[in-house]
Amino acid sequence: MNVFRAAFLLLAFVGPTVMVHAQITDGVCQPENLEIICGNDLDPSGYTITFDLINNSAFDLQKLVIPGTVGGVTISPNIYSLPVAIPPGGVASGIAFQLSGGAPGEQVCLPFGGVSIDPTGGEFHCCGSVLCVELPICEILFIRGDSNADGSCDIGDAVNVLAFLFGGGACPCADACDCNDDGQVNIADAICKLSFLFSGGPPPPTPHPSCGSDPTPDSLGCLSFPPCN
C-alpha cells in the first residue's frame, strides 16, 4: 500500500506528485499529519485521506461535515462523528475519509465544517477548513499469475487462487491472480497457471514474467505486491 505524507500550510512534495495545503476559513480547525493512502474499502483504485485535527475554536468539537461529491470525486462518510468531544485546544487523531473517482494529478479541494452541540442539543458550525490535495499516482507493479506474490512462478500460485475462491484464502493483488487477464478472478485462472506450467499452455499475458503495470483496463486493481514494490 502506498502512503504519501505532506505538511499543511506548506507546499510539500513527498514522492513525485503529492501536493497538499490547507486553507483556513472562519473558525480554526487546524489539520496536520496528513496521509494519502492508495485504495480503500469501497474502491481499490480510490484513495483514503487521514489526518489529525487541532481544535483551536472556543467550543467542543463533536462532528465534521463534508460534501458527498466534489467535482467528479465521491467522498465518504459525509458526516464524521468523533468518538469523544474534542475540547478547545485538543486534538482529534486518525480522522479518515474515503475518495472514489478522480485521476492522478488532479487537484481536489475538500471543504469541511466542524460542528459543536449546545446544552439544548442544538448543533452549530464552530470552525472550518479546506483541504486541497493533488491525487498521487498509485499504480502498483505486479507479475501476472504470481497470485501469492512470492516472486516465484510455480504450482503454489494455482493453489492460492483455488484457496482464495473456495477456502477463504487471500489474493492481495487481484490483477496478479487474474492469470488469463479477462478482468475476473475465477477457476479459469488456476487452470491458466496449471496449463502454462504442465501442459505447454501459453504464458500469462503482460506483465509476465517481469514486473510491470496492467495494460488492460478492468475493475480488479492491486493493493499490494511486495516483490515489485
**115-133 confidence digits (pLDDT tens):** 999 999 999 999 888 888 8
- The conformational region for residue 145 under phi > 0 = left, psi -120 to 50 = alpha, else beta, is left
Q: How far apart are CA 3 and CA 39, in angstroms?
A: 10
Domain 3-134: state its class: mainly beta
- Predicted pLDDT at 27: 52
Q: How far apart are CA 22 and CA 3, in angstroms?
A: 19
In which residue ranges of the chain is pLDDT below 70? 1-27, 44-45
- Predicted pLDDT at 8: 32
Q: Quickly list DSSP for 151-210.
A: S--SHHHHHHHHHHHHS----S-HHHH-TT-SS--SHHHHHHHHHHHHS-PPPPPSS-SS
User: Would the pTM count as exceeding 0.75?
Assistant: no
The vertex-228 CA angle with 225 and 229, nearest 5°, equals 75
What is the distance of C-alpha 109 from the center of its chain?
17
What is the distance of C-alpha 123 from the center of its chain?
31
Report yes or no: 112 and 129 within 8 Å, Cβ to Cβ: yes
Sequence-distant contacts of 78-84: CB under 8 A, at least 24 apart:
none
Question: Residue ranges of the domains in the chain?
Answer: 3-134, 155-228
- Predicted pLDDT at 15: 28
